[in-house]
Protein backbone atom coordinates (compact mmCIF):
# COMPACT_ATOMS: atom_id res chain seq x y z
CA UNK A 1 0.00 0.00 0.00
CA UNK A 2 1.44 3.36 -1.04
CA UNK A 3 1.88 5.87 1.78
CA UNK A 4 -0.15 9.05 1.47
CA UNK A 5 1.72 12.08 0.17
CA UNK A 6 2.86 14.46 2.89
CA UNK A 7 0.84 17.68 2.64
CA UNK A 8 2.15 21.17 3.30
CA UNK A 9 0.06 24.31 3.81
CA UNK A 10 1.86 27.54 2.87
CA UNK A 11 1.06 30.86 4.60
CA UNK A 12 2.48 34.08 3.17
CA UNK A 13 1.56 37.74 2.96
CA UNK A 14 3.44 37.82 -0.35
CA UNK A 15 4.77 41.27 0.43
CA UNK A 16 8.12 41.13 -1.40
CA UNK A 17 10.40 39.27 -3.78
CA UNK A 18 11.71 37.10 -0.95
CA UNK A 19 8.21 35.64 -0.46
CA UNK A 20 8.16 34.54 -4.10
CA UNK A 21 11.70 33.20 -3.93
CA UNK A 22 10.89 31.04 -0.89
CA UNK A 23 7.89 29.49 -2.58
CA UNK A 24 9.87 28.93 -5.79
CA UNK A 25 12.61 27.12 -3.87
CA UNK A 26 10.20 24.87 -1.96
CA UNK A 27 8.12 24.10 -5.06
CA UNK A 28 11.27 23.38 -7.06
CA UNK A 29 12.57 20.95 -4.43
CA UNK A 30 9.24 19.11 -4.52
CA UNK A 31 9.20 19.01 -8.33
CA UNK A 32 12.74 17.59 -8.42
CA UNK A 33 11.81 14.93 -5.89
CA UNK A 34 14.15 16.27 -3.20
CA UNK A 35 11.09 16.46 -0.94
CA UNK A 36 8.36 13.82 -1.17
CA UNK A 37 5.46 16.13 -0.44
CA UNK A 38 2.93 18.43 -2.04
CA UNK A 39 1.86 21.98 -1.28
CA UNK A 40 -1.83 21.45 -0.58
CA UNK A 41 -2.75 25.15 -0.52
CA UNK A 42 -1.38 28.66 -0.19
CA UNK A 43 -3.08 31.12 2.13
CA UNK A 44 -2.50 34.87 2.06
CA UNK A 45 -3.84 37.60 4.33
CA UNK A 46 -3.99 39.91 1.31
CA UNK A 47 -6.36 39.87 -1.64
CA UNK A 48 -5.76 40.72 -5.32
CA UNK A 49 -5.41 44.43 -5.90
CA UNK A 50 -4.06 45.34 -2.45
CA UNK A 51 -0.41 45.35 -3.48
CA UNK A 52 1.62 44.89 -6.64
CA UNK A 53 4.03 42.61 -4.79
CA UNK A 54 1.32 40.32 -3.47
CA UNK A 55 -0.35 40.26 -6.90
CA UNK A 56 2.92 38.95 -8.35
CA UNK A 57 2.99 36.33 -5.60
CA UNK A 58 -0.57 35.27 -6.45
CA UNK A 59 0.35 34.94 -10.12
CA UNK A 60 3.22 32.64 -9.16
CA UNK A 61 0.91 30.45 -7.05
CA UNK A 62 -1.65 30.22 -9.83
CA UNK A 63 1.10 29.31 -12.29
CA UNK A 64 1.97 26.33 -10.08
CA UNK A 65 -1.72 25.33 -10.03
CA UNK A 66 -1.76 25.36 -6.24
CA UNK A 67 -5.11 26.22 -4.60
CA UNK A 68 -4.95 29.83 -3.41
CA UNK A 69 -7.08 31.18 -0.56
CA UNK A 70 -7.04 34.93 0.06
CA UNK A 71 -8.69 36.79 2.93
CA UNK A 72 -7.82 40.44 3.48
CA UNK A 73 -6.61 41.18 6.98
CA UNK A 74 -6.59 44.91 6.26
CA UNK A 75 -10.22 44.98 5.16
CA UNK A 76 -11.28 42.88 8.15
CA UNK A 77 -9.30 45.13 10.49
CA UNK A 78 -10.84 48.29 9.07
CA UNK A 79 -14.33 46.90 9.48
CA UNK A 80 -13.84 45.57 13.01
CA UNK A 81 -11.20 47.58 14.84
CA UNK A 82 -13.23 50.78 14.80
CA UNK A 83 -15.80 49.20 17.12
CA UNK A 84 -13.52 46.81 19.03
CA UNK A 85 -10.60 48.49 20.87
CA UNK A 86 -7.18 46.91 21.21
CA UNK A 87 -6.47 44.97 24.41
CA UNK A 88 -3.12 45.61 26.05
CA UNK A 89 -0.92 42.53 26.27
CA UNK A 90 -3.12 40.29 24.10
CA UNK A 91 -4.69 40.03 20.68
CA UNK A 92 -7.95 41.95 20.36
CA UNK A 93 -11.11 39.87 20.05
CA UNK A 94 -11.54 40.92 16.42
CA UNK A 95 -8.04 39.56 15.68
CA UNK A 96 -9.03 36.19 17.07
CA UNK A 97 -12.20 36.37 14.98
CA UNK A 98 -10.01 36.89 11.92
CA UNK A 99 -8.12 33.68 12.72
CA UNK A 100 -11.41 31.82 13.16
CA UNK A 101 -12.57 32.97 9.75
CA UNK A 102 -9.25 31.86 8.24
CA UNK A 103 -9.72 28.41 9.77
CA UNK A 104 -13.27 28.26 8.44
CA UNK A 105 -12.06 29.02 4.93
CA UNK A 106 -9.42 26.31 5.18
CA UNK A 107 -11.77 23.57 6.41
CA UNK A 108 -11.78 21.81 3.04
CA UNK A 109 -7.98 21.49 2.98
CA UNK A 110 -5.74 19.05 4.80
CA UNK A 111 -2.15 19.76 5.82
CA UNK A 112 0.31 17.73 7.88
CA UNK A 113 2.46 20.80 8.34
CA UNK A 114 1.83 24.51 7.80
CA UNK A 115 4.79 26.70 6.89
CA UNK A 116 4.77 30.43 7.59
CA UNK A 117 7.15 32.00 5.07
CA UNK A 118 6.76 35.75 5.20
CA UNK A 119 3.35 35.66 6.90
CA UNK A 120 3.21 39.05 8.59
CA UNK A 121 0.66 38.33 11.32
CA UNK A 122 0.89 36.99 14.85
CA UNK A 123 -1.11 33.76 15.04
CA UNK A 124 -3.54 33.35 17.92
CA UNK A 125 -3.66 30.36 20.28
CA UNK A 126 -6.60 28.67 18.53
CA UNK A 127 -4.82 28.49 15.19
CA UNK A 128 -1.62 27.33 16.86
CA UNK A 129 -3.55 24.44 18.40
CA UNK A 130 -5.45 23.60 15.21
CA UNK A 131 -2.39 23.24 12.96
CA UNK A 132 1.21 22.14 13.27
CA UNK A 133 2.73 25.45 12.16
CA UNK A 134 6.40 26.33 11.74
CA UNK A 135 7.71 29.79 11.04
CA UNK A 136 10.80 30.93 9.19
CA UNK A 137 12.55 33.59 11.27
CA UNK A 138 15.68 35.49 10.12
CA UNK A 139 17.64 35.20 13.36
CA UNK A 140 19.47 32.58 15.37
CA UNK A 141 17.77 30.98 18.40
CA UNK A 142 17.61 33.59 21.16
CA UNK A 143 18.18 36.39 18.65
CA UNK A 144 16.03 39.46 17.92
CA UNK A 145 12.32 39.10 17.18
CA UNK A 146 10.42 40.95 14.46
CA UNK A 147 10.73 41.38 10.72
CA UNK A 148 14.01 40.76 8.94
CA UNK A 149 14.56 44.51 8.76
CA UNK A 150 14.00 44.89 12.51
CA UNK A 151 16.35 41.98 13.18
CA UNK A 152 19.19 43.48 11.14
CA UNK A 153 18.88 46.94 12.69
CA UNK A 154 18.96 45.34 16.14
CA UNK A 155 22.08 43.35 15.21
CA UNK A 156 23.77 46.55 14.06
CA UNK A 157 22.70 48.44 17.18
CA UNK A 158 24.02 45.64 19.42
CA UNK A 159 27.26 45.32 17.40
CA UNK A 160 26.52 41.59 17.24
CA UNK A 161 29.15 38.97 16.46
CA UNK A 162 26.89 36.47 14.69
CA UNK A 163 23.35 35.81 13.58
CA UNK A 164 21.47 33.06 11.78
CA UNK A 165 18.18 31.71 10.50
CA UNK A 166 15.77 29.35 12.20
CA UNK A 167 12.51 27.47 11.84
CA UNK A 168 10.44 27.30 15.01
CA UNK A 169 7.05 26.04 16.13
CA UNK A 170 4.47 28.83 15.99
CA UNK A 171 3.09 30.01 19.32
CA UNK A 172 1.18 33.19 20.26
CA UNK A 173 4.49 34.61 21.53
CA UNK A 174 6.13 36.31 18.56
CA UNK A 175 9.16 34.44 17.17
CA UNK A 176 9.72 32.54 20.44
CA UNK A 177 8.29 29.07 19.79
CA UNK A 178 10.35 25.88 20.27
CA UNK A 179 13.21 25.72 17.75
CA UNK A 180 12.90 23.08 15.02
CA UNK A 181 16.05 23.75 12.99
CA UNK A 182 18.60 26.50 12.57
CA UNK A 183 21.93 27.60 11.22
CA UNK A 184 24.28 30.38 12.29
CA UNK A 185 26.93 32.51 10.61
CA UNK A 186 29.43 35.15 11.77
CA UNK A 187 29.00 38.80 10.87
CA UNK A 188 32.57 39.67 11.83
CA UNK A 189 35.73 39.07 9.85
CA UNK A 190 35.93 39.67 6.12
CA UNK A 191 33.99 40.84 4.22
CA UNK A 192 32.04 42.30 7.17
CA UNK A 193 34.76 44.19 9.03
CA UNK A 194 35.26 46.89 6.41
CA UNK A 195 31.55 47.77 6.66
CA UNK A 196 31.59 47.75 10.46
CA UNK A 197 34.43 50.30 10.24
CA UNK A 198 32.27 52.50 8.01
CA UNK A 199 29.63 52.86 10.73
CA UNK A 200 31.96 53.18 13.71
CA UNK A 201 30.64 55.80 16.11
CA UNK A 202 27.14 55.87 14.62
CA UNK A 203 24.01 54.43 16.21
CA UNK A 204 21.62 52.23 14.26
CA UNK A 205 19.10 55.10 14.26
CA UNK A 206 21.64 57.45 12.68
CA UNK A 207 22.64 54.87 10.09
CA UNK A 208 19.01 54.17 9.30
CA UNK A 209 18.31 57.87 8.81
CA UNK A 210 21.42 58.39 6.67
CA UNK A 211 21.48 55.26 4.51
CA UNK A 212 18.34 53.27 5.17
CA UNK A 213 18.37 49.72 3.81
CA UNK A 214 21.00 50.75 1.23
CA UNK A 215 23.65 50.67 3.94
CA UNK A 216 26.32 48.21 2.83
CA UNK A 217 26.53 46.33 6.12
CA UNK A 218 22.74 46.04 6.26
CA UNK A 219 22.65 44.68 2.70
CA UNK A 220 25.46 42.19 3.33
CA UNK A 221 23.83 40.76 6.46
CA UNK A 222 20.55 40.41 4.58
CA UNK A 223 22.21 38.72 1.60
CA UNK A 224 24.02 36.19 3.79
CA UNK A 225 20.87 35.42 5.76
CA UNK A 226 18.66 35.10 2.70
CA UNK A 227 21.09 32.64 1.11
CA UNK A 228 20.58 30.37 4.13
CA UNK A 229 16.82 30.72 4.37
CA UNK A 230 16.26 28.72 1.19
CA UNK A 231 18.20 25.55 2.09
CA UNK A 232 16.97 25.70 5.70
CA UNK A 233 13.29 25.73 4.76
CA UNK A 234 13.82 22.86 2.31
CA UNK A 235 15.78 20.78 4.83
CA UNK A 236 13.15 21.36 7.49
CA UNK A 237 10.18 20.38 5.32
CA UNK A 238 12.13 17.31 4.18
CA UNK A 239 12.85 16.29 7.79
CA UNK A 240 9.14 16.53 8.65
CA UNK A 241 8.04 14.67 5.53
CA UNK A 242 10.47 11.83 6.26
CA UNK A 243 9.37 11.56 9.89
CA UNK A 244 12.76 12.56 11.27
CA UNK A 245 11.11 15.33 13.26
CA UNK A 246 7.51 15.91 14.31
CA UNK A 247 5.27 17.74 16.77
CA UNK A 248 3.99 15.45 19.54
CA UNK A 249 0.73 15.70 21.49
CA UNK A 250 2.36 17.97 24.07
CA UNK A 251 3.30 20.45 21.29
CA UNK A 252 6.97 19.58 21.64
CA UNK A 253 9.45 19.00 18.82
CA UNK A 254 10.66 15.39 18.91
CA UNK A 255 12.84 13.14 16.76
CA UNK A 256 11.87 9.88 15.06
CA UNK A 257 12.06 8.01 18.38
CA UNK A 258 9.90 10.57 20.19
CA UNK A 259 12.74 12.21 22.10
CA UNK A 260 12.51 16.00 22.58
CA UNK A 261 15.12 17.98 20.69
CA UNK A 262 16.32 21.55 21.02
CA UNK A 263 16.47 22.08 17.29
CA UNK A 264 18.62 20.59 14.55
CA UNK A 265 21.83 22.54 13.98
CA UNK A 266 22.21 22.50 10.20
CA UNK A 267 25.05 25.05 10.06
CA UNK A 268 27.68 22.70 8.63
CA UNK A 269 25.27 21.16 6.12
CA UNK A 270 24.06 24.51 4.82
CA UNK A 271 27.55 25.99 4.67
CA UNK A 272 28.56 22.97 2.60
CA UNK A 273 25.66 23.52 0.22
CA UNK A 274 26.54 27.19 -0.18
CA UNK A 275 30.17 26.35 -0.85
CA UNK A 276 29.24 23.78 -3.50
CA UNK A 277 26.86 26.19 -5.20
CA UNK A 278 29.74 28.63 -5.79
CA UNK A 279 31.89 26.05 -7.59
Q: Mean pLDDT for the chain? A: 90
For residues 186 and 162, the answer to whether their CB atoms sit within 8 Å is: yes
Q: Is residue 242 part of a domain?
A: yes
Q: Is residue 173 part of a domain?
A: yes
What pTM, to 2 d.p., does this model score? 0.82
> Would you tell me the crossing angle of helices 216-241 and 267-277 to the nearest 10 degrees?
110
Q: Is residue 160 part of a domain?
A: yes
Q: What is the mean pLDDT of residues 3-20?
A: 91
Q: Is residue 144 part of a domain?
A: yes
Short-list 178, 175, 199, 196, CA closest to 262 = 178
Q: How many domains, the chain? A: 1
CATH code assigned at 49: 3.40.50.170
Q: Is residue 99 part of a domain?
A: yes
**Residue 206 domain boundaries:** 6-277
112-155 pLDDT, tens digit per residue, is 999 998 898 888 889 988 999 999 899 999 999 888 999 999 99
Q: Is residue 1 part of a domain?
A: no
Q: Is residue 61 part of a domain?
A: yes
Amino acid sequence: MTAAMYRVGWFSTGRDRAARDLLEVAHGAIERGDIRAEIAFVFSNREPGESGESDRFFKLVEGYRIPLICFSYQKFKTARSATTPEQAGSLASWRLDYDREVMRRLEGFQADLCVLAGYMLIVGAEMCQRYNMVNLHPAAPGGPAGTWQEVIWRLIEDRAEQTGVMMHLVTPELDRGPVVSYCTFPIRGEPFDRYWREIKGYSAIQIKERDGEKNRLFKLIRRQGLAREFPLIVATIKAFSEGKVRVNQDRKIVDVEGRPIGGYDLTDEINGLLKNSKK
